[in-house]
């Protein structure tokens, strides 16, 4: 007896939708890790492509899968994989000057993905507003944590130099979003 064209040779143990979701989460964490290596080295916090990647992943995948991708990225880094800026990894990164920003990435991904699922990607202004909210959610814990390392110079070292790049990254994310949807099939 030969298998028909519609029957698989071996039955799937994992549903196709679950396999697809796992692939999207892993792929999202890889995108974040790759764009983390695009950096302008400043001290104590480098300018990187991480926020661009976090926004793209969250806007394209939504809050559940986007949040899972960022969570996986953070777990990979905490376990010592070289996924953070400068090919760094390890739990010590969460205790250093960038620790609050790393946590902010997860909060921002959840919020931006949630907003995307509620139609905030239907036009440029709403998409920009979602990314502005995400940016605030990254900076709030990031600057609060950074202050213990920089004191009175927190805004000078952790905010002001990043504003032009954040505007460029947000615009780039808005432009790249339709391509991200095509890649994810969403």
Task: Judge contact between 43 and 64, C-beta under 8 A.
Answer: no
Q: Which residues contact 128 (CB under 8 A, 6 or more apart)?
A: 170, 174
List of residues 6+ apart from 34 with CB closer than 8 A: 49, 53
- Per the CB < 8 A criterion, the answer to whether 20 and 68 are in contact is no
Whether the CA torsion 107, 110, 116, 119 is positive or negative: it is negative
Q: Architecture of domain 17-184 in CATH?
A: Orthogonal Bundle (1.10)
- Determine phi and psi for 84, rounding to 5 degrees: -80, 170
Q: Tens-digit pLDDT profile for the chain (186 aa)? A: 454 555 554 455 556 788 889 999 999 999 999 999 998 887 888 888 899 999 999 999 999 999 999 999 999 999 999 999 999 999 999 999 999 999 999 999 999 999 999 998 888 888 889 999 999 999 999 999 999 999 999 999 999 999 998 888 888 887 777 666 666 666
Cβ atoms of 56 and 73 within 8 Å: the answer is: no
Q: For residue 68, which of 25, 124, 24, 126 has the smallest C-alpha distance?
A: 25
Q: CA dist 182 to 60, 128, 142, 179, Å?
A: 9, 20, 32, 5
Distance CA 138, CA 147 (A): 14
pLDDT for residue 181: 64
Contacts of 106 by beta carbon, 8 Å cutoff, 6+ apart: 67, 70, 71, 74
Q: How far is CA 30 from CA 40, 94, 139, in A?
A: 20, 19, 23
DSSP bridge partners of 39: 48
């Amino acid at each position: 007896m030969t298998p028909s064209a519609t029957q698989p040779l071996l039955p799937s143990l994992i549903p196709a939708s679950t396999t697809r979701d796992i692939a999207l989460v892993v792929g999202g964490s890889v995108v974040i890790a790759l764009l983390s290596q695009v950096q302008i080295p400043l001290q104590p916090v480098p300018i990187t492509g991480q926020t661009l990647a976090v926004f793209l992943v969250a806007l394209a995948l939504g809050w559940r899968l986007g949040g899972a991708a960022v969570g996986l990225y953070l777990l990979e880094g905490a376990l010592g994989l070289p996924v953070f800026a400068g090919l760094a990894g390890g739990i010590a990164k969460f205790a250093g000057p960038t620790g609050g920003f790393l946590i902010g990435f997860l909060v921002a991904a959840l919020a931006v993905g949630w907003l995307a699922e509620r139609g905030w990607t239907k036009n440029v202004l709403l998409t920009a507003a979602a990314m502005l909210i995400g940016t605030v959610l990254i900076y709030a814990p990031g600057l609060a944590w950074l202050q213990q390392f920089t004191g009175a110079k927190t805004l000078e070292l952790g905010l002001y130099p990043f504003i032009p790049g954040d505007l460029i990254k947000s615009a780039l994310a808005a432009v790249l979003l339709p391509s991200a949807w095509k890649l994810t099939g969403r």
